[in-house]
């Protein structure tokens, strides 16, 4: 399977803070319009790519489009911008970063804080807080206010690069899943599938799985798959039992995270499918953090039989997220085969 690095770059670099997914949604819509039988949007902005199967049972896959970001809360008398986070941030990762404020036009800014040269000895030993940071655009207040207003979204600025067999960028969480779902739809385009397939590009996952909840209630799926990144803590100092996943060891089959215990029948089916097709995989138990899988599993009448394909990723929620190309390819292959063969498994208790 060839690796479409140009598509991944476009998907990762398109802005889309939670609740402001317009531009990444445009990329998705352009890519999927000729791949499926129907494309729908709901009031929240979720995108439904629907491929009809031989039976009207329903399979839902959720891949969230949004990325962690910020929102403008105040512009001071000198034109400096205060903000609130949209999603989870470790404050120290904001140091020395560029951001883009999406106002009347895109405006570049830098995350700034008190210089170390003028800090007291006590201040130098304190852990940074989000409130220690502000955004400097280099513009006076009058020009800032012509372009930017309270409520405008902000995303991080960092382009995608290749590093050995890996890719590195901001927002691989969860643009990797957007990429994988698009590539899965391409693979399945001319193939028969047993059940109606709803590939859903969801919104507002980073602030509480909001889009997936709405989409699952609308679809009421019989089967569901979350599609998201997971922690690869295969780094210096990590103990073997802490790693969760490792880069290059294959796609990850979720067993549980903090919001979902995957259906054991789905876990069994996914493992069997991977083994039958010689797809490299590793188990995932994520002790902190959740994904759209929770909404897909719960927000339906009677619940769905749910699991998840997870993509091992280092340095999550930073601008230097890193994933292995083979793990990404394995994820496409596993998801595609699961959709094709989901009717072959014994789903009884």
Determine contact, residues 266/222, Cβ cutoff 8 Å: no
Give the integer Cα–Cα distance in Å for 224 and 215. 11
Residue 92: is its pLDDT beyond 90? yes
| Cα distance between the two ends of the chain | 36
Q: How confident is the model at residue 172 (pLDDT cuts 50, 70, 90)?
A: very high
Q: Rounded to whole angstroms, what are the CA distances from 38 to 32, 76, 184, 334?
A: 10, 47, 16, 23
Q: What is the per-residue pLDDT for 119?
A: 85
Residue 121: is its pLDDT beyond 90? no
What percent of the chain lies above the pLDDT cut of 90? Answer: 94
Q: How confident is the model at residue 125 (pLDDT cuts 50, 70, 90)?
A: confident
Three-state DSSP class for 204?
A: coil
Q: What is the per-residue pLDDT for 2?
A: 86
Determine contact, residues 181/212, Cβ cutoff 8 Å: no
Three-state DSSP class for 10?
A: helix
- Strand duo 223-231 + 55-64: pairing: parallel
- Strand duo 251-256 + 281-285: pairing: parallel
DSSP designation for 261: B
**Mean pLDDT value across residues 225-246:** 97
Tell me the average pLDDT of the chain: 97
Give the integer Cα–Cα distance in Å for 276 and 49. 27
Residue 122: is its pLDDT beyond 90? no
Q: How many C-beta neighbours within 10 Å does residue 221 have?
A: 28
Helices (H), 38-156: 121-125, 141-147
Give the integer Cα–Cα distance in Å for 320 and 187. 29
Residue 164: is its pLDDT beyond 80? yes
Determine contact, residues 183/325, Cβ cutoff 8 Å: no
**Mean pLDDT value across residues 278-306:** 96
Residue 1: is its pLDDT beyond 80? no
Q: pTM for this one?
A: 0.97
Helices 5-13 + 22-32 axis angle, to 10: 150
**Mean pLDDT value across residues 168-184:** 98
Q: What is the per-residue pLDDT for 115?
A: 85
Q: What is the per-residue pLDDT for 306?
A: 98
Determine contact, residues 60/180, Cβ cutoff 8 Å: no
Q: How confident is the model at residue 17 (pLDDT cuts 50, 70, 90)?
A: very high
Which residues are known catalytic residues? 205
Determine contact, residues 328/310, Cβ cutoff 8 Å: no
**Mean pLDDT value across residues 14-29:** 98
pLDDT in tens, 196-211: 999 999 999 999 999 9
Residue that the structure tokens 């280092």 belong to = 314
pLDDT in tens, 33-60: 999 999 999 999 999 999 999 998 999 9
Q: What is the per-residue pLDDT for 20?
A: 98
Q: Rounded to whole angstroms, what are the CA distances from 211 to 203, 215, 254?
A: 5, 6, 21
Q: What is the per-residue pLDDT for 341?
A: 98
Q: What is the per-residue pLDDT for 56?
A: 87
């Amino acid at each position: 399977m060839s690796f479409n690095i140009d598509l991944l770059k476009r998907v990762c670099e398109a802005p889309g803070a939670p609740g402001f997914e317009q531009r990444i949604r445009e990329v998705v819509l352009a890519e999927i319009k000729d791949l499926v039988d129907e494309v729908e949007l709901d009031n929240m902005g979720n995108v439904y790519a629907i491929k009809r199967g031989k039976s009207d049972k329903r399979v839902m896959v959720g891949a969230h489009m949004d990325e962690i970001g910020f929102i403008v809360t105040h512009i001071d008398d000198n034109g400096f911008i205060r903000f609130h986070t949209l999603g989870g941030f470790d404050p120290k990762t904001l140091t020395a970063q560029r951001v883009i404020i999406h106002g009347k036009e895109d405006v570049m800014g830098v995350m700034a804080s008190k210089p170390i040269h003028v800090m007291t000895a006590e201040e130098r030993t304190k852990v940074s807080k989000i409130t220690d940071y502000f955004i400097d655009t280099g513009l006076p207040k009058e020009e800032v206010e012509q372009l930017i207003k309270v409520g405008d979204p902000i995303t991080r600025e960092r382009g995608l690069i290749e590093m050995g067999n890996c890719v590195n960028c901001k927002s691989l969480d969860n643009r990797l899943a957007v990429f994988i779902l698009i590539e899965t739809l391409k693979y399945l385009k001319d193939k028969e599938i047993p059940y109606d397939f709803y590939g859903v590009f969801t919104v507002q996952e980073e602030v509480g799985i909001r889009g997936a909840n709405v989409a699952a209630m609308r679809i009421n799926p019989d089967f569901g798959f979350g599609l998201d990144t997971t922690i690869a803590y295969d780094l210096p100092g990590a103990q073997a039992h802490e790693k969760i996943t490792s880069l290059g060891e294959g796609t990850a089959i979720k067993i549980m995270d903090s919001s979902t215990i995957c259906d054991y029948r789905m876990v069994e089916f996914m493992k069997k499918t991977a083994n039958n097709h010689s797809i490299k995989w590793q188990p995932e138990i994520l002790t902190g953090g959740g994904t759209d899988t929770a909404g897909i599993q719960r927000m339906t009448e009677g619940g769905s039989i749910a699991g998840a394909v997870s993509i091992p990723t280092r340095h999550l929620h930073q601008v230097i997220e890193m994933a292995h190309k083979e793990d990404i390819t394995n994820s496409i292959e596993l998801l595609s085969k699961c959709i094709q063969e989901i009717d072959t498994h014994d789903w009884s208790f």
